[in-house]
Amino acid sequence: MLVPHFAKTSFADLELLVQEILTDEPDVFDVKYILNETNPQKSDFIIIFSCLSLMLKQRAQKHACVDGTWKLVHNNFVVLVFGFVDLNNHVHVTGVGIASSETTNVFKWIFEFFKSNRFTEGSWSPTEIMADNSRAISAAVLIVFPQAKRRNCYAHVIRACDTKMQELHFSADLRETTLSQIRELSRCPTETYFDLAAEALITEWSSAEYQSHKDFAIYFQRQYVELDKNWFAENGAGCRTDF
């Protein structure tokens, strides 16, 4: 079977791309797909690879992280990496998937695979899922793990804010000062503290002399206070940084 819109690359070709990561353990391999015959470019698929020992390590955890990259495979396929982070902030990858794109279907399939599959017994139910601020991931979490806390990645917040400040032509010193303020905000232990601290910070930025500061205040309030504030160090929460 040829993958729609991706020339002569087949599912078998994709399996060979990551075959080297499998050692002497039994292969854990699954494929999910929906073919759109009317518009093949909108077809979804994911090929999932893991091994039994890694899946058992994941099931021993109460949280999971997922992230995607377009930099590892040709033909515009996205590689999704699934795993967890330990107390020493070491990343433990427990599975990878080669997917058509980062859609709700694709994330739902990888979550369903780790929740319950033919290779392991019973069902796995994490308390937290960590990722960037992808709406597709959030939708998939609600479908597969409705009881889980959806955590957003602090590192993604810092990178996005730094990019926005560069677009607004902040000086290097002002960018570093602002990032330090955001780092301090991220340490708030409760939502009440976060709301108070964020309000004070946004008021400070909004009263600054330059319009770029005011524009950044509007951006930050909308994106990381109103739409997404699951990125600060709330008491009882798990790690806040994914891969």
pLDDT in tens, 172-201: 999 999 999 999 999 998 999 999 999 999
Q: Is the pLDDT of residue 98 over 70?
A: yes
Does 92 or 241 have the greater pLDDT score?
A: 92
Instruction: Specify the pLDDT at position 19.
Output: 54
- Indicate the pLDDT class of residue 12, thresholds 50, 70 and 90: low
Average pLDDT for the chain: 84
CA-based diameter of the chain, in Å? Answer: 64
The amino acid at 102: E
Q: Mean pLDDT over residues 201-215, rounded?
A: 95
Sequential DSSP letters for 142-178: HHH-TTSEEEE-HHHHHHHHHHHHHHTT--HHHHHHH
Q: Is 29 exposed, middle or buried (0-12, 13-18, 19+ CB in 10 A)?
A: middle
* Phi and psi, residue 76, nearest 5°: 65, 25
Check if the beta carbon of residue 105 is closer than 8 Å to that of residue 76. no
Check if the beta carbon of residue 231 is closer than 8 Å to that of residue 152. yes
Does 124 or 18 have the greater pLDDT score?
A: 124
Using alpha carbons, select from 174, 162, 159 the residue that is nearest to residue 213.
Answer: 174
Q: Is the pLDDT of residue 14 over 50?
A: no
The percentage of the chain sitting over the pLDDT mark of 90, rounded to a whole number, equals 53
Q: Which helix (H) or strand (E) holds 96?
A: strand 91-99
Instruction: Specify the pLDDT at position 235.
Output: 59
Distances (CA, A) of 126 to 9, 62, 151: 35, 5, 12
Check if the beta carbon of residue 66 is closer than 8 Å to that of residue 129. yes
Q: How far is CA 23 from the centre of its chain?
A: 27
Q: What is the pLDDT of residues 103-152, one digit of tens each?
A: 999 999 999 999 999 889 999 999 999 998 889 999 999 999 999 989 88
Domains in the chain: boundaries: 11-151, 154-227
Q: Mean pLDDT over residues 216-225, rounded?
A: 96
